[in-house]
Each structure stands twice: as C-alpha cells, then as structure tokens.
Amino acid sequence: MTSAAEPVGDPVLDVAVVGAGFAGLGTAIRLARRGRESFVVLERAADVGGTWRENTYPGVACDVPSHLYSFSFAPDPGWSRVFAPGAEVQRYLRERSREVADRIRLGCEVLAAVWDADAAHWRLRTSTGPVRARVLVLAAGRLTEPRVPDVPGLGEFGGPVVHTARWDHDLDLTGRRVGVVGTGASAVQVVPHLAGRAAHVEVFQRSPAWIVPRGDRPFSPAERAGFARAPETARALREETFADMERGLAARRLDPAALEALRRRASDHLQAQVPNPGLRAALTPDYEIGCKRVLLSDDFYPALTRPDVRLVPSAVRSAAPGSVTTADGRRHALDVLVLATGFHSTVQPYAARVTGRQGQTLARAWGAGMVSHASTVVHGFPNLFVLDGPNASLGHNSAVHVIESQIGYLLGALDHLAATARPLEVSLPAQRRYTAEVDAMAADSVWLRGGCSSWYVDSRSGRLTLLWPDTATEFRRRNGTFHPAPFL
C-alpha cells in the first residue's frame, strides 16, 4: 500500500472507491480479479477494516455467524468461533486486502468529490492530492461517525469520556466508578467485560432491548481442519446459516406465529437469566420485538445481576464534574463515562462532500431522507454508486450478502459504460418508483408498526431508510443485476 506522503496520480482512472471496509475491499477484489478497470481505493485511516478497525472495545464481536459474515468469493476456513471476535474479523479484512494492497492509499481522506459534466468524470480533492475517475464508488458505510449524545455539561464531566467506537486501551478502570450510557448492541458486549474490572458499573437505560441467546461456541480443531480440507463443508454451513436467518424475516413482517416464537424465545431468556422480578420488569421492552435491533447475548443479563453492577432505567439528562443526573432527577457519582450510543446512521456525514450535476450535494438530495434506485444509484449523480447506503442493510441476515449483490450491480454497470461510453444517471421517475415500492414493502413491517423509535427510521420523513424490508434473496434478485432501462 502507498503511504500518505506519496502523491496521488493525475491520470483519469476508471473507478475510485472511497473506503476500505467490507464494501470497499470487496469491490476492489472483484475489480482486480476482472482485470479490466484501472482503480484506486482511498482510505482516510491508517489501516483497512472500517467498522472493525474502529470498534476495538472489550468484548466486541460479530453478531452474524462467521462463515456468513465473510466474502463468498474469499472464504476463511480458520474462524475460531461461531461468532468471530472483532479482532478476528479485522484480521480477515487485513489478509484479504493483501490481494489489492497496491491499489489502496491509506491516510487519504476525500475532502470533496465533484462531477465534471464537461469531462464526464469525477474530480476528487483529497488530503494527499487530486484524483480523477470516471466512476465514483462510495463505500464509506453507515457506521462511521460515532453519535455523542447532546447532554448538557458533558464537556465539564472532568473524568474520561470514551465512546465505544473510540476506545482508549490505556484507560485503567481499577477502583473506578463507571457509567455506561446505552443498552444497545455495543453495550451488551462491553458491560460484561467492564464488570469486575471497575469498582462499580452503572448502566443507564433509556429503552430496554429484546435479547435472545447468542449460542456462541468455539469451532473444534477437527472442524476447522475439515473446513480447510473440504471447502464444500464450509460452503454448506454458510448456505444453511443463510437459509436459517432468512426465515427470521417472517417475524419482522408481523407473521403471528413467527412473532410469538421470537418473542417467547427472548422472554424465556430474560426469565431464565434474571430472577429478580423488579429488574426483569425494567428490562422488558414495551414495544414489539424486532422493531429495534434484536440483540444476541448470553452474558449481559448475568452481568446486571452482579452486586457491583446496577441498571438505571432512566436516560442521562445532564452531566457535571464527577457526576451525571438522570431524567428521574437522581444524581450518580462517577469517575468514567462510556458512551455506547451508536452512530449517525440516517444522515451520512460524507454526503455533504459529494456534489453532483447542477451543483447539488448528496446531502441536499437526501435532505428529507436517503433515497435511491436499486439501493445503489441516485438521480442527479452520474456514474455514482453508493454501497451500504439507503435501504441496503438487513435486520435479519448478513450485510455482506447485500454488499456482494451491490458489487454485482456495479460490475454490470461498468460493462454497460464500457460498451456505450456515456455517463449513467438514473431517472427521477425510476428513483421515485423504487422508493415507493420500498415504502410499500416496509409499511406492514415491525420496523414501522412495532411501536418504537429506532435508528432504522429517518425521523425527518418517518421512512425506513436503512433497511431492505424483504429477504436477502429478494434483494439480490431485484438489485444484484444491472438493467439499463431506468437510466437517462
């Protein structure tokens, strides 16, 4: 990989990819194996990995089984567990990046990207110099900018304040009182690892989550040897896992039997792990299961029953030196604050840096919420492809399957561009039709009818903008192959 000090070349490339996480690296590997296009991957950080580079907090791990949360075209028989630890996912991405190492520019932040209509290519201003490319692929992901809650006085807290996505590994919690803000996906992983290290842990819960058993276990040496010796066994496990997770959509579509089975599974898990009825009541959501992300954990509930851990079923309202005050008016003396408060997901920070036709930014185009056609292309932005963007994630299956589908769409579009040599811009009617179709699919889902407020839904429009509200199989059928008809 080139260093940040090396100059960025000026020739017009075929493709510029922004981001070196799963989406960016997957795109790069597929492009390299085709051997048709000149391309570069621009990564602002000093390493690849995206989400898995940034999230290194204690206990971080994948919530999708390892053999499914990896590229189908670059499998790894050596996963240590059913659910890989975060460091192992990062190792996997680093290893896969070696195939395209000479195309990756680390320490290269894209500051602006502007469509040049006269030259029919994108002009990128980066921290290491200009880049020009006929096609721009935004693979920056949804979980890039940590969400820090707007808590009055937070800056005057005095002690360490650390977000889970910016973990300080030099932070010593010995003998300290630690407050964890949030009870979402990162919180249920980090809290069990803070308990016992800190003198006392207080967990501030604005809204409880539905949690089901994780069922993690290590793969035996014999299993791993079998995956390496007979790759078809790993493929079969991947296919079996995929099919099992696809069945989870039925509950999200409010199928009564599937919904009751999922709800019972979570309720039984809570009942079995939390004997105290008061604590159990505080941990029971008042919205339908699946409306927010369903979490997987076998050790979060037991951690909350420890004598040195306390659940506070109230949101943090304000902070002061050495303490926070919750919405119920109580003051809590603390030495350290851990923010397990997620990311800016429905408003993408990179959108303000991308300017399409007629000077419109992507942020302005998405001013009322993210929209697209095929969950990948946006009207007003020729030769732009957004991976992991609007309606391109799943609430029940692996995001990698969606990413691979989008890469397939991109490759088909590149073939079409090579044949026609004309820029590709999706029509506004096509984008509106697709958006209406997605909205219709989402209308009767638990994400919109489950009685909760979640990061899947854009508060500006009330639309489900993050998730694809159907099966992963249907996403690939509809959006995995490029069709030129919807384009101007």
Per-residue pLDDT of the chain (488 residues; tens, 9 = 90+): 333 333 444 799 999 999 999 999 999 999 999 999 999 999 999 999 999 999 999 999 999 999 999 999 999 999 999 999 999 999 999 999 999 999 999 999 999 999 999 999 999 999 999 999 999 999 998 767 788 999 999 999 999 999 999 999 999 999 999 999 999 999 999 999 999 999 999 999 999 999 999 999 999 999 999 999 999 999 999 999 999 999 999 999 999 999 999 999 999 999 999 999 999 999 999 999 999 999 999 999 999 999 999 999 999 999 999 999 999 999 999 999 999 998 876 678 899 999 999 999 999 999 999 999 999 999 999 999 999 999 999 999 999 999 999 999 999 999 999 999 899 999 999 999 999 999 999 999 999 999 999 989 998 899 999 999 999 999 999 999 999 999 98
Can you give the length of the chain in residues? 488
- Tell me whether residue 6 is in a domain: no
In a domain, 485, yes or no: no
418 and 383 fall within a common domain: yes
CB-neighbour burial class of residue 111 (10 A; exposed 0-12, middle 13-18, buried 19+): exposed
Question: What six digits make up the tokens of 308?
Answer: 């040195």
What would the two tokens of residue 441 be? 């699919």
For residues 309-344, b (16+ Cβ closer than 10 Å) or e, as one string?
bebbbbbbbebeeebbbbeeeeebebbbbbbbbbbe
Q: Are residues 323 and 463 in the same domain?
A: no
Q: Last residue of a domain, which of 321, 339, 357? A: 339
Q: How far separated are the first and last CA of the chain, in Å rounded?
A: 38
Number of independent structural domains in the chain: 2
Question: Do residues 109 and 202 both lie within one domain?
Answer: no
Residue 222 lies in a domain: no
What CATH number corresponds to the domain at position 319?
3.50.50.60
Residue whose tokens read 């889970």: 164
Residue 382 located in a structural domain: yes
Are residues 203 and 311 in contact, defined by beta-carbon separation less than 8 angstroms?
yes
**Are residues 92 and 160 part of one domain?**
no
Which residue, of 339, 354, 385, is where some domain finishes?
339
Same domain for 368 and 290: no
Residue 335 shares a structural domain with residue 348: no
162-199: b (≥16 Cβ within 10 Å) or e: bbbbebeeeeebeebbbbbbbbbbbbbbbbbebbeebe
What is the distance between the alpha carbons of residues 281 and 71, in angstroms, rounded to a whole number? 41
Q: Are 121 and 134 in contact (CB under 8 A)?
A: yes
- Of 293, 316, 339, the last residue of a domain is 339
Domain match, 425 and 465 both: yes
Query: Would 223 be classed as within a structural domain?
Result: no
Contact 371, 378 (CB under 8 A): yes
In a domain, 249, yes or no: yes
* Secondary structure element (H or E) that encloses residue 240, with its range: helix 231-246
Instruction: Tell me the C-alpha distance between 106 and 42, whole Å.
Output: 7
C-alpha distances in Å from residue 389, one per residue of 40, 262, 481: 20, 28, 17
177 and 83 part of one domain: no
**Is residue 86 in a domain?**
yes
| Same-domain status, 384 and 289 | no
Q: Is residue 112 a part of any domain in this protein?
A: yes
Helical packing angle, 22-34 and 399-420, nearest 10°? 40
193 in the same domain as 131: no
Q: Are 428 and 316 in a shared domain?
A: no
- Burial of 109 (C-beta count, 10 Å sphere; 0-12/13-18/19+): middle
Indicate if 299 and 375 belong to the same structural domain: no
- Give counts: helices (H), strands (E), the chain: 15, 18
Check: CB of residue 106 under 8 Å from CB of residue 2: yes
CA 301 to CA 283: how far, in whole Å? 9
Domain around 314: 154-216+228-339
Distance in angstroms (rounded) separating the CA atoms of residues 16 and 235: 31
- Helix H or strand E segment including 468: none
What pTM does this model have? 0.94
Closest CA to 389 of 428, 351, 443, 427: 351
